[in-house]
Structure 1
Amino acid sequence: MAAKITIQTLLDAGCHYGHQTRRWNPKMKPYIFGERNGIYILDLKQTMLGADAAYTFLKNVASKGGRVLFVGTKKQAQEPIATEAARANMPYINQRWLGGMLTNFVTMRSRIKRLEELEAMVEDGRMAALPKKEQALKNKELLKLQLNLGGVRDMTSLPQALFVVDSKREENAIREANRLHIPVVSLLDTNSDPDVVD
């Protein structure tokens, strides 16, 4: 059961603050309530409608057994993305979006296989039998793969939807999803382009 979103909870969380008035996207005008002290104020009624539509859509995708890829590489979003995606048993990216993650999915799967090979080497002791230099190189590769692909290791096919925390920062992920006609749900700010998300 999801927590009920009210205007008061959005106000308390500071969701009504946008960017400075000089940094905005004119396409966001219908979602802006006004301006105060050089900062745009978002229309929380529109925010609630959007949040409700996003919740309904994502709930529908998940109820049909679809996978939603959570994407949030901002420092503030990394931990919540990993926690909530794990809670929902969904894949996530919270470190760095690797180019071709969706559009070159076959290669991405081969990197996940490599990650699993390296982990198997550590498990059965083959890694310890290697010379020190080779061991160090393979450990470095293992850590890098775990960091970048750990959240998507169980993703065997393309996701049915993307949930993106910052549409500005994750524009490569959104571009790949749009190219493959994967629906994108995103949090938008006054400087975002609402046309690139669904």
Structure 2
Amino acid sequence: MANKIDVKELLEAGVHFGHMTRKWDPNMAPYIYMERNGIHIINLYKTAAKIEEANEALKKIAASGRKVLFVATKKQAKDIVAEKAAACNMPYITERWPGGMLTNFVTIRKAVKKMASIDRMKKDGTFDTLSKKEKLQIERLRAKLEKNLGSIADMTRLPAALFVVDVKAEHIAVKEAQKLNIPVFAMVDTNSDPRPIDFVIPANDDASKSIDKVLSLVSSAIVDGLSDRKAEKEDTKETEAKTEATANE
């Protein structure tokens, strides 16, 4: 079972603040506790339960050696997502979502390979033989690719899941994942429709403190999963070594 989530910590991080009542999505009603001063307040006990549920699933994905792609392009979430995803060794998109990122993954991989080939040119000296103009063009292309795709350079196959901050802002990513039956984990605020999301975490997706809190809990579950995987590999190696030693006696 995942670690128990402290509701008090969620409260202190402002995870409970939803949107103004007139901006709400009625499908979020089961997760709303009350209305205060024209703002919907999220039921944090439900949030805590949903984080625990999501963490169990994310831990299993990490333990199986598959990737979770984090997606957040809004200003207040970008840096947090980049930091937390990198800390648990997962790919992330924090610039504009590249259309076809999932549904046309082969093309995206080609762009990533182009980046790698430019790097090879620099290493083997080919780059130095180019004219000043060609160098400049290649440098610009490399910078553009790095900005948009640098964080997914090591993602050689489709992710096992998506973790999204703000499903409204990232609706294209959610749609692509749905098409390919890739499960979506997401922070869902009171103005969004939770129905397309497989693992809904009802939470304030606008305040950086709230985003940081939820992402810290989620990324630490992924780290636990990676540790389990490492321990399992070491156990297997040990068992194999013992079996080999016994056979050689």
Partners of 1:78 and 1:180 in 2: CA distance: 25
Partners of 2:29 and 2:122 in 1: CA distance: 54
Q: Is 1:26 the equivalent of 2:26?
A: yes
Q: Which residue of 1 aligns with 2:107?
A: 107
Determine if contact 2:4/2:52 at 8 Å carries over to the other structure.
no
Partners of 1:32 and 1:128 in 2: CA distance: 61
The aligned runs of 1:1-198 (5 Å cut-off) are: 5-198=5-198
CA deviation after TM superposition for structure 1 residue 80, in Å: 1.8
With 87-96 and 41-50 compared, the bigger mean Cα shift is at 87-96
CA deviation after TM superposition for structure 1 residue 13, in Å: 0.4
Partners of 1:4 and 1:195 in 2: CA distance: 26
Q: Which residue of 1 aligns with 2:233?
A: none
Partners of 2:123 and 2:190 in 1: CA distance: 49
Partners of 1:3 and 1:73 in 2: CA distance: 29
* Regions of 4+ moved over 3 Å: none
Larger Rg: 2
Query: If the length of structure 2 is used for normalisation, what is the TM-score?
Result: 0.76
Give, as a single letter, the amino acid of the residue that structure 1 aligns with 2:47.
T
Identity %: 51
Give, as a single letter, the amino acid of the residue that structure 1 aligns with 2:77.
A
**Cα deviation per residue 1:112-160 (whole Å; 9 max; x = unaligned)?**
1101111222233322332122211111110000011111111111111
Determine if contact 2:3/2:52 at 8 Å carries over to the other structure.
no
Partners of 2:6 and 2:27 in 1: CA distance: 25
Give, as a single letter, the amino acid of the residue that structure 1 aligns with 2:191.
N
Partners of 2:29 and 2:73 in 1: CA distance: 27
CA deviation after TM superposition for structure 1 residue 4, in Å: 5.1
Partners of 1:188 and 1:164 in 2: CA distance: 9
5+ residue gaps, structure 1, are: none
With 10-19 and 78-87 compared, the bigger mean Cα shift is at 78-87
Give, as a single letter, the amino acid of the residue that structure 1 aligns with 2:174.
I
With 15-24 and 85-94 compared, the bigger mean Cα shift is at 85-94
Partners of 2:62 and 2:176 in 1: CA distance: 21
CA deviation after TM superposition for structure 1 residue 73, in Å: 1.1
Q: CA, structure 1 residues 148+3, in 2 after alignment: closer, same or farther (shift >3 Å)? A: farther
5+ residue gaps, structure 2, are: 199-249
Paired residue secondary structure (1:187): strand
Partners of 1:135 and 1:103 in 2: CA distance: 32
Query: If the length of structure 1 is used for normalisation, what is the TM-score?
Result: 0.95
Paired residue secondary structure (1:66): coil
Length, aligned pairs only: 197
Aligned-CA RMSD value: 1.3
Give, as a single letter, the amino acid of the residue that structure 2 aligns with 1:100.
G
The structure, 1 or 2, with the larger RCO (C-alpha pairs under 8 Å, 6+ apart) is 2
Q: CA, structure 1 residues 3+148, in 2 after alignment: closer, same or farther (shift >3 Å)? A: farther
Partners of 1:152 and 1:70 in 2: CA distance: 10
Paired residue secondary structure (2:33): strand
